[in-house]
Structure 1
Amino acid sequence: MIRRRSTPWIHKWSRPLIAAIAGCGALTTAYLTIEKLTGGSAACVAQDGVKGCNDVLSSPWATVFGQPLALFGFLAYTSMVIFALAPLVFNSVENNRRKQLENWTWLLLLGGAIAMSVFSGYLMYVLASQIKAICPYCIGSALFSLSLLVLTIIGRTWEDIGQIFFTAIIVGMVTLISTLGIYAGVNKSDITPGGTPGQPVNISFTPKENPNPAFGWEVTTTSGEAEIALARQLAKVGAKEYTAYWCPHCHEQKLLFGKEAEEIINNDIKVECAADGLKAQPELCKAAKIEGFPTWIINGKSYSGVQSLEELAKISGYTGSRNFKYFK
């Protein structure tokens, strides 16, 4: 008597597990998509001096073909849910057709999981080396993608192991080349004006000369209508920016606004804390208990470090255009 070998539990539950993980990914990316489209801010615990989720959402990498990257993530996760559950939903289909459906959906799951894992790996590289932020949603999505890949590989008996490696090489290379092509226009250099039209430029600043007590370092970026309108809104709500002319981070904040908007900041908002600076008011800084530069006080709340223009817009109640030219 030949005893039939029992099916491993992972093979029985692999599709429901894949669907569950992909569902979590779909919910996460749906939430981020809504926040991005509505101009809101994702719930994220931020640490002083460390960039967070909203800095990531406001970066050029968060937009693809004019749409939120999270939207494409939502579509990818939703597709994985459909591929995982399709054979279970159509359980009543005749055996041959159901077997074909299982085989095809496993290949689609494998290809999708590989593509998502490669793309997530690239985004993790960008997160660490370019944006330099901590984003739990991004890290969670990468773990979801990797989990989907692992479950897809071990969730069934693959008759041809070479099929997995061949698919991984082809799909991985196509995904990586496409990803590099999509983001080729993102300017990663220091404040180089230009770049792709309509695409924010990443700025960084390394002092190459001593600052001038009258103005620090020269502001080499130019403002757009959005930056000028935001500066006016900040002045309208009585915001204050406490700075020191010798502070490189304060200069980075200036570069985000640009020369024209910085004139508004300088005249109506900025408080110079360095005693030897132009129009210094160190007594006001001491009274406000300023411990680091720059520090923003808006509507009675204190915000330390360089603030993204998206974040300042949210805090100040700014409702105008958010087509900001630069990000940090």
Structure 2
Amino acid sequence: MSKQKAKRRQAKKDTRRAMEQRKTQRQPDWPVLGLALFGMLVTAWLTLAASTTSGMPLCAEGSGCDIIQASRWSTLFGIPVALFGFLTYAAIALISFEMRPATKRWRRQWFISLVGLAVSLYLTAIGLIELQAVCFWCLISLATISAIFIWLTIKRPAAGPGQPWRDWLLNTGATTLVILAVMHLHYSGLLGPGMGREDPQLQALATHLDEEGARYYGASWCPACQEQEDLFGASSERLPFVECHPQGRSGLMASACVNAGIEQFPTWVIDGEQHEGILTPEELARLSNFDWEE
């Protein structure tokens, strides 16, 4: 009898322990939820900065934040990148709050944070390489998504992702690389309507400007210059471009730009006259006596 009672007591203890474990597993993931909510605030602020022309704290005119927000890398398929970041954090927050089994919840949290971290690192590298600028708020978002990813990696369930780790990493890594590849193709102009094909009219105008001795002064990190070149699409490489900051944003201005008296980017010099700001192809055609209609 004593052995049976002992077995029953042990069975009750095991049942109680299992219930407590299930209860613990189905509690919200508070650390990740808190970080995700903070990330939502940061990206909401960046989304607001992208939709307003007024100066915002730590994103004043001419700052790294302003340069990045005005560049073509601030949007993806016409949607602010910050909004994608907000939705990423919102998805992590929702999953963290839902009382799913720990392993299932972790799989989704970890995958989304991996994609978010990879995209954030890609855009940060673009800012440093292409624009020679960094955005304070973007760095805060990068630190937040990094903290989420590191925390989830350290706190992964003992059961793992539910499949061999090698297969899991290959699948999630491949998916992340595909997302980055699509982004890069988009920013390279290879996913646009023309898919890299030149418009004959824009090609002829760019060639005409070069042959007529016109000069287009700008800088590789200048957002307005990027907008100017976007107006010419694949023919932008034919423009008579003069790089005024060959050593980067913090470098000295090139002597050709100093001698030309360039003070603003972009600046066009056509028939000896300066024209500051972005000019449409129609305006450039008129100023350079190019028959746009023909």
- Whether 1:178 and 2:179 are equivalent positions in the alignment is yes
- Superposition deviation, residue 254 in structure 1: 5.2
- 1:80 and 1:112 in contact (8 A); partners too: yes
1:133–1:15 Cα change, 3 Å: same
Find the aligned partners of 1:13 and 1:248 in 2 and give their Cα distance: 63
1:258–1:157 CA distance, 2 compared to 1 (3 A) = same
Match of 1:28 among 42, 61, 64: 42
Aligned twin of 1:121: 121
Name the counterpart of 2:169.
168
1:256 and 2:257 are equivalent in the alignment: no
Name structure 1 gaps, 5 residues minimum: 88-97, 189-193, 198-216, 228-243, 267-308, 311-320, 322-328
Equivalent position of 1:220 in the other structure: 216
Counterpart residue type for residue 83 of structure 2: L
Which of the pair is proportionally richer in helix?
Answer: 2
Separation in structure 2 between the aligned mates of residue 40 and residue 169 of structure 1, nearest angstrom:
45
Show the counterpart of 1:79: 91
Deviating more after overlay: 163-172 vs 109-118 = 163-172
Alpha-carbon distance in 1 for matches of 2:274, 2:216: 16
Could you tell me the percent identity over the aligned residues? 20
Q: TM-score, normalised by structure 1?
A: 0.51
Letter in 1 for 2:38: C
Larger of the two Rg values belongs to structure: 2
Q: Which residue of 1 aligns with 2:81?
A: 69
- Structure 2 distance, partners of 1:149, 1:112, is 9
Q: For residues 164 and 145 of structure 1, what CA distance do their matches in structure 2 show?
A: 22
Deviations 1:134-190 (A, max 9, x none): 2111111111111111121223423137655533332233222322322324359xx
Q: In structure 2, list runs of 5 or more residues that go unmatched.
A: 1-9, 190-194, 199-212, 219-223, 229-252, 281-294
SS of the counterpart of 1:144? Answer: helix
Q: 1:136 to 1:186 in 2, by over 3 A?
A: same
State TM-score, norm by structure 2.
0.57
How far apart, in 1, do the equivalents of 2:96 and 2:52 lie? 31
Aligned residues: 211
For 2:262 and 2:30, the matched residues in 1 are separated by: 49
* Matches of 1:86 and 1:122, distance apart in 2: 30
